């Protein structure tokens, strides 16, 4: 049933967000991406938004030049 599938997507998105923010301990981008992607694939709009935000933040971090001059 669609309602239970939506509840499952909410739980996946919440887990992804917890890994992204480090709520469960240390931050884990790979696990955050995994769980948030599953929820987004299920069509959960908040997860779709969070996934885009996560990827934007990762891309922004990758653009920072950490090398010494």
**Residue closest to 5 by CA, chosen among 54, 42, 50, 52:** 42
Confidence of residue 4 (pLDDT cuts 50, 70, 90): low
Q: What angle do CA 9, 32, 18 make, to 5 degrees?
A: 80
pLDDT digits (tens, 9 = 90+) for 13-48: 999 999 999 998 999 999 999 999 999 999 999 999
**pTM for the whole structure:** 0.78
């Amino acid at each position: 049933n669609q309602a239970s599938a939506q509840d499952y997507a909410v739980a996946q998105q919440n887990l992804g967000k917890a890994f992204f923010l480090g709520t469960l301990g240390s931050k884990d981008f790979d696990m955050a991406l995994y769980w948030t992607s599953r929820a987004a694939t299920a069509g959960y709009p908040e997860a779709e938004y969070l996934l885009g935000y996560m990827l934007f933040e990762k891309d922004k971090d990758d653009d920072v030049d950490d090398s010494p001059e």
